[in-house]
Amino acid sequence: MSFDSPAIALGASFIAIGALLKDIGFNLEQSIFSTFLTYALPGSLVMAESFLVGASLINIFLAVWLVNARLYPMTVSLMPLLLHKSQPRWKYYLSCHFIAVSAWLIMKSNYQSIEKKYRIDFWMGIGTGTWSIAIVSTIIGFLVSDYLNKDMMIGLAIVNPVYFACMMVGAMKSLQINLSIILGAILGPLFFFVSPEWSILYGGVLAGTLAYFVGEFK
């Protein structure tokens, strides 16, 4: 089992967040509160950037909503796999808080080995585990930030995309998914020249839709 391995990448990313939050003037309690309540890395980065330039609350809301809108298709493509009549609804509404790239990718590659009735419980376990690592790492990042130099921060920052890229390569098991991933990686950056804010949603929705149709009608 390689269950210890996602912890390193996840931990490195949130250590970077903890250091960043301290840098922009959050105290320790506020930094913990932030990861505890948000637990989605790109959203926290956007929040920090917006806060630094003194953006209004409405602007922060819109910027974060936009960058985290990917959580909607991620939830829709995960929860139906976990739904079971015998399980209470509150579990789904509570545990959707754990939907973030790491936990989602782990669940997507493991759900088939879990009996459907117990999948939501398994998911809550994965979610609590990854979420706890994120919170503890935020604390570590906040506390050690004075000892991290710029080069170490750059090194920490690459760990997250490397981890996600490897997990994506690991998920490439059908024509539809392979195409989705390859087209998304090409169209996302291309749309950056059209609109930096909307590039991920535009590029992602177009790439996913193309891949879907190619896969369905081949």
Positions 40 through 69 that interact with another protein (CB under 8 A): 40, 42-45, 47, 49, 51, 57, 60-62, 64-65, 68-69
Q: Is the CB of residue 151 less than 8 Å from the CB of residue 110? A: no
d(CA 15, CA 152): 11
Q: Least distance from C-beta 129 to another protein, angstroms?
A: 15
Q: For another protein, which is the closer residue by CB, 8 or 118?
A: 8
Q: Is 72 exposed, middle or buried (0-12, 13-18, 19+ CB in 10 A)?
A: exposed
Which of 1, 53, 80, 88 binds another protein (CB under 8 A)? It is: 80
Among positions 196-215, residues that touch another protein (CB under 8 A) are 196, 199-201, 203-209, 211-212, 215
Asked if 189 interacts with another protein (CB under 8 A), we say yes
Asked if 71 interacts with another protein (CB under 8 A), we say yes
Asked if 129 interacts with another protein (CB under 8 A), we say no
User: DSSP of 117-180, one letter per residue?
Assistant: GGHHHHHHHHHHHHHHHHHHHHHHHHHHGGG--HHHHHHHHHHHHHHHHHHHHHH--SHHHHHH
Which of 117, 169, 195, 197 binds another protein (CB under 8 A)? It is: 169
Q: Is the CB of residue 140 less than 8 Å from the CB of residue 21? A: no
- Going residue by residue from 2 to 41, which x/- string records binding to another protein, judged by CB under 8 A? x-xxx-xx--x---x---x----xxx--x--xx--xxxx-
Size of the residue set binding another protein (CB under 8 A): 106
Task: Supply 57's token pair.
Answer: 């609350």
- Going residue by residue from 81 to 100, which x/- string records binding to another protein, judged by CB under 8 A? x-x--------xx--xx-x-
Asked if 110 interacts with another protein (CB under 8 A), we say no
Q: Is 211 exposed, middle or buried (0-12, 13-18, 19+ CB in 10 A)?
A: buried
d(CA 49, CA 170): 32
Q: Least distance from C-beta 171 to another protein, angstroms?
A: 7
In the block, which residue shows the tokens 């912890």?
A: 7
Task: Supply 123's token pair.
Answer: 């998911």
Among positions 132-161, residues that touch another protein (CB under 8 A) are 150-161
